[in-house]
Amino acid sequence: MIQLISAGKRFGEKLLFEGADWQINTGDRIGLVGANGSGKTTLFHLIMGLLQPEAGEIEVFGRRCRAEADFRLVREQVGLLFQDPDDQLFCPTVAEDVAFGPLNLGLPRAEVRAIVRDTLERLGLAGFEERVTFKLSGGEKRLVSLATVLAMRPRIMLLDEPTAGLDEPTTERIVELLRSPGLSYLIISHDRDFLARTVETTYHLEKGLISRVETPPGPCLSAGQKA
């Protein structure tokens, strides 16, 4: 689904990656950990084409992505949850924000209304349709951001710290949701317990290198939950 081939990225003096190779396949449930500032968010933004690599290649769904036009399909089918919900939400109301993506895909209004209602309900946000987005609490904003991603029914999700600032029952709801069959995702998180319950493989980003973390599998996913 996603392949980085010798990808390189630096900001001024700061080298984030050099010759980074990474391959993500259908059905993968992957965690990405690393220190603050190690480049995790940058890696997601490279995959989405929001930043350009200085070296190497990015392939998504088997297609080499270089120009802005190449990333159009990526942005329709890869769901990025931004680390900061204020980067994700830009409409006056919750319903408009969640409907924005599906409407852009050309889905009929009635179907979009049903998607909005169902997605909000799945996240425990029933009745939030007319709430004013910028007045939501931090946790509510993160959940609505997740709703905007799920509403697109992406082939794969890139979730940048999905549970930061969420209370325990809400985190639990997200764990349950992620454990449903057929999903593919990458999760950046500093919460090892959350990762142990939602991912099968974890990678560590440090000094520009992406390496697999060898840990015994957590109380994780049964074979039936794999795609």
46 to 65, contacts with ligand ATP by CB under 6 A? Answer: none
Min dist CB 46 to Mg ion, Å, is 13
Each residue 63-102 as x (binds Mg ion by CB under 5 A) or -, in order, gives --------------------x-------------------
Residue 36 CB, nearest approach to ligand ATP (Å):
3
Q: Is there binding between residue 192 and ligand ATP (CB under 6 A)?
A: no
What DSSP designation does 68 have? G
Residue type present at position 111: E
- Closest to ligand ATP by CB, 140 vs 160, is 160
Q: In the β-sheet with 2-11, what is the strand arrangement from edge to edge?
A: 14-24, 2-11, 55-60, 63-65
Distances (CA, A) of 168 to 135, 158, 163: 22, 22, 9
Query: Does residue 76 sit in helix, strand or coil?
Result: helix
Kind of pairing between the strands at 29-33 and 55-60 = unpaired
Stretch touching ligand ATP by CB under 6 A, among 10-18, 74-82, 109-117, 166-174: 10-18
- Give the C-alpha separation, 40 to 45, whole Å: 9
Q: Do you know the residue count of the chain? A: 227
**Residue 149: HSE in the Cβ half-sphere, 13 Å Cα cutoff:** 27
- 41 is a site residue for Mg ion (CB under 5 A): yes
Site for ligand ATP in 69-88 (CB under 6 A): 83
**Residues in touch with ligand ATP (CB under 6 A):** 11, 14, 16, 34, 36-42, 83
Residues that bind Mg ion (CB under 5 A): 40-41, 83
